[in-house]
Structure 1
């Protein structure tokens, strides 16, 4: 059986799928913005991806001391934030869920600073606006589609972002095979193109791989 991963996997990650042939074809590339100048403290900051954390703390060397309260999407984003000395005050599985948490649990918030990419979902912004919370957006990285045609038989496809799906369908037909997605937002996009869509139990690459094994073994 052959599984297409639309991003490169680490050696440890590939070992989780040792029983399968893995085809690694990245469908997106990330370009990090430079020159992010921050001199004042951010009271309420939101990070919705690992790439946004990398952009701020690694590519622009922003000090963790400038952030008072930080909220994020996903366990992987939380883990990377903590590695940079950030204590995460709240976490959601996706942007809409995080918005509900911010609205219900932190009712003193009137403005958030969102560090994001160019292909972001509008769920967070719209829900914040509906509840009178201003959103200042900082676009700190860009996702570029790198579609590639796949000319071999596949038994499953692994997607890690909506943009990866958009890139794939530019040069490939939507196949009638299992598609495993990293969370609800990616699955929502997948359902526009594929019939057999599955969601990982948590928003980590490892969870996607485990779900793929589960689906293919049924």
Structure 2
């Protein structure tokens, strides 16, 4: 197994990296995107708040403090986003692994309420379009920016762990997929690669840990 070279398209937590090392892989990590918190005006904030990433939560709480979230109903995408909010003492009204699932929950149970969506500059259209089509009152505030940070990778990897479409974009600016197997956190990330390679494995659950597990299982 020593010859299997794995590249992670973001810096991993020490325990996540250790799982790969324990499996006998050689591991390289590089952040192909960076995050910049944006200045924004906290105006017209609805009673229901939507977060689709941890970055949005961090941007809002750094700018406005936790008091902005107090007494609000919180809706989020991703288990890590939900956990971050709950660790801060917030109660999450509804959460889902994918934006379209959360949008379906909102349009079914909360369609007559008003929402504020805290987003990044590269956010997908899925959630706001689904809500607007259903007549849900929605305003959007962009609170962070995703910046592509390309790096050239010298050693050709056997497998690449991808965690976002923008991470794929950052990698491809100075590197090629070649014959590498691409392990993707979700279908949106995999979609970016579909015209480039057929060697795609999608995580069962959209989490970093599950991407790591899929990679280990693939090479067992």
On whether the aligned pair clears a TM of 0.5, the verdict is yes
CA-CA distance at 1:62 after TM superposition: 4.0
Cα-to-partner distance string for 1:45-102 (whole Å, 9 max, x where unaligned): 1100011111111354241544521110010110001111211111121111211111
Q: Aligned with 2:20: secondary structure?
A: coil
Counterpart for residue 24 of structure 1: 29
Counterpart for residue 14 of structure 1: 17
Q: Aligned with 1:171: secondary structure?
A: coil
CA-CA distance at 1:156 after TM superposition: 0.4
Counterpart for residue 117 of structure 2: 114
Q: Distance in 1 between matches of 2:189 and 2:178?
A: 17
Q: Aligned with 2:83: secondary structure?
A: helix
Q: Aligned with 1:7: secondary structure?
A: coil
CA-CA distance at 1:33 after TM superposition: 1.6
When structure 1 is superposed on structure 2, of 4-13 and 172-181 the one drifting more is: 172-181
Q: Distance in 2 between matches of 1:23 and 1:9?
A: 10
Q: Aligned with 2:189: secondary structure?
A: helix
When structure 1 is superposed on structure 2, of 148-157 and 62-71 the one drifting more is: 62-71
Q: Aligned with 2:47: secondary structure?
A: strand
1:163 aligns with 2:166: yes
When structure 1 is superposed on structure 2, of 189-198 and 201-210 the one drifting more is: 189-198
Q: Distance in 2 between matches of 1:62 and 1:176?
A: 46
Contact 1:178-1:215 at 8 Å conserved across structures: no
Contact 2:70-2:90 at 8 Å conserved across structures: no
Aligned length: 215
Counterpart for residue 80 of structure 2: 76
TM-score (norm 1): 0.91
CA RMSD of aligned residues (A): 1.8
TM-score (norm 2): 0.90
